Structure 1
Amino acid sequence: MKKTVRATTAETQAAEWFVRLSNPAVSFTDIEAFQSWREDTRNRSAFEAVETLWAQSGVLAGDPEIQSALALIPRRKIKRAKSALPWTAALGGGLLAVSAAAWILLAPQTYSAPEFSRRTIELEDGSVVQLDAGARISARFDGRSRRLSLLRGRALFDVAKDPSRRFVVQAGGTKVLALGTRFVVSRDKDSTSVALIEGRLEVRKARRGTAAASWILGPGEGVPASGGPVEPVDPARIEDWADGRFVFRAIPLDEAAAEMNRYARRAVRVEAGPLSRSPISGAFEAGQEEAFAYAAAEALSLVVVTAPDGALVLKAAGPPAKSE
């Protein structure tokens, strides 16, 4: 698994303090609060790291990401207050470099899973996110909140309890709020579904032209992509993909094929018509699309035809040939 560098809570707070102190109008209340915060050894080390990053800003100036960040910072003349402490005045003079350094530390971390396999991410607070094949998320943590965005695909969230920082997942127009719980969010373009396995969850969905809808979910409940009402879900089924297998219990054939296709290098397609809604049951390993296709064909008296693009097409068997 590729190692990902993540900012710790101390580093995030240090960057926030660095930006706040760069303001020449910083209050003495803030300065006293900063000095108290800096008494912690970890906080002091984190702040010194930010100072070092600022000092290296001349080296970083050629970085295209830094240049993009600086382009977004309004350039204004810094007026130093006579009462400002010398070190705060120096910080004000380096506002652009400070902002660039803070941008590096505070920018959301992005994680993605490969096209045909899953990935497990452990976040800085101890929460664990399991990304389905091709899924992508971004995460931004600070001292007040834990905010994630599901950019595409499906993810299983196992949230560490932290009452002081709410855990929020945004997926398009759907917002999910939790404290300590286990749930799955699945996003396909503008459609998002949510299913709760353990704990308690609040789901909010934006609606065009009307007020946003909101639901409180208990274990075994979910909000479908259509936006409600709340419906029962099978907790075992909604997370079985995280173990690398699918367990189907009388679900429509086309839905089962869509699940298998998340990991399939050869797509499985189902002939249009009533056949596509035929119920299928069974347990199948992710990535074993050929075994699934032939098992479904045997169970439902179908045939498997290889399409020109290599896809496996499930079709109704034709009438038997007449013997002469």
Structure 2
Amino acid sequence: TALQKQLRAWLESDARHREEFDHLSRVWQAADLIPRQRLEALCQPDPVQQLPRRRLLRQALAASVAVLALGLGWSAWHYQQLNHQDTLQTAFNERRQVELPDGSHLELNGSTQLQVDFSAGQRHVRLSAGEVMFTVAHDSSRPFVVDTAQGSVTVTGTRFDVRLDPAATRVAVEQGSVRVQGQGASLARLTAGLGSYIDAKGVVAAPYTVNTNAVTAWRQGKLVFDNATLAEVVAEASRYRSQPIWIAPGKVAQLRLSSTFSTDDTDALLRALPSILPVAIKAHEDGSREIIAK
């Protein structure tokens, strides 16, 4: 809103403004300790028509305090919406939903870690590990930026998935548009139904069509593969297992399949593979599994 923009501009125009606002926020927090019933009682008009001057002054002062408390309360609340820092993380195979103060919604996949840093001029998230589905509340005056080791994704309001792999950051857009920025001038603009990735050198790949339902199926606890190579299937399934899966050297890794499995039961995937592809599963004493050609 116009009022929000004015507040942000005022806060950023002078460091003393922010100090004063912080001070007022602390005053509000102190005022919040006053019981609500007491404040309401102080603001109620006295039924007696002729009041002593001292009582009138006392009531006027109480009303002023109540108005100030309400004003400071709104200001402190709004300040908290603009300025927010937090670290979010999930355990192995855990999924979590989080709503940020600006109304943006995050869905975290397992083994994910990110840092949130909101201020009056920006909405900044640092993805250190894992995968997140972002539904970003629109705010053209405060771009929403997701940083990773390879580059960044910038939006003002949209719905997209960011996944951090060991050597790449992968982006898929479900709604709206995003700007994917790598190192230097390497960038791509993605709209709904398109994806891209930033490789380890910071180079952004040309946009390509993605099946966003398949990419984000993890939100429903599913793994959806559409003509995926066995290497891609194993890499994805391994994210939801404590014991590794290996593929024997050779052409086995390039075999392709289309199917759907549960993230909570990757053993079912291993049991099904020999009936889908010409492979066998070899179990090792350490709990790992190896996929070999029949």
TM-score (norm 2): 0.71
Give yes or no for the alignment of 1:311 onto 2:284: no
Task: Give 1:150's aligned residue.
Answer: 127
Give yes or no for the alignment of 1:299 onto 2:252: no
Task: Give 2:45's aligned residue.
Answer: none
Task: Give 1:109's aligned residue.
Answer: 86
8 Å contact 1:268–1:312 — kept in the other structure? yes
Give yes or no for the alignment of 1:220 onto 2:193: yes
**Letter of the aligned partner of 2:229 in structure 1?**
P
8 Å contact 2:215–2:224 — kept in the other structure? no
Identity %: 26
Task: Give 1:267's aligned residue.
Answer: 244
Change in CA separation of 1:180 and 1:312 when aligned onto 2, cut-off 3 Å: same
Structure 2 portions without partners, runs of 5+: 32-81
Task: Give 2:103's aligned residue.
Answer: 126
Task: Give 1:184's aligned residue.
Answer: 161
Match of 2:216 among 224, 239, 243: 239
8 Å contact 2:84–2:119 — kept in the other structure? no
Segments ≥4 residues shifted beyond 6 Å: 49-52
8 Å contact 1:140–1:147 — kept in the other structure? yes
Task: Give 1:136's aligned residue.
Answer: 113
Give yes or no for the alignment of 1:48 onto 2:30: no
CA distance in 2, matches of 1:218, 1:141: 25
Offset at residue 44 of structure 1 (A): 7.7
Structure 1 portions without partners, runs of 5+: 1-8, 22-29, 53-104, 318-324
**Letter of the aligned partner of 1:295 in structure 2?**
A
Task: Give 2:15's aligned residue.
Answer: 20
Offset at residue 194 of structure 1 (A): 1.3
Change in CA separation of 1:181 and 1:201 when aligned onto 2, cut-off 3 Å: same
RMSD between superposed Cα atoms in Å: 2.9
Task: Give 1:287's aligned residue.
Answer: 264
CA distance in 1, matches of 2:193, 2:257: 22
SS in structure 1 of the partner of residue 134 of structure 2: strand
Offset at residue 223 of structure 1 (A): 1.3
CA distance in 1, matches of 2:238, 2:130: 13
CA distance in 1, matches of 2:167, 2:222: 26
8 Å contact 1:268–1:293 — kept in the other structure? no
**Letter of the aligned partner of 1:183 in structure 2?**
F
CA distance in 1, matches of 2:212, 2:170: 14
8 Å contact 1:116–1:265 — kept in the other structure? no
Offset at residue 45 of structure 1 (A): 6.2
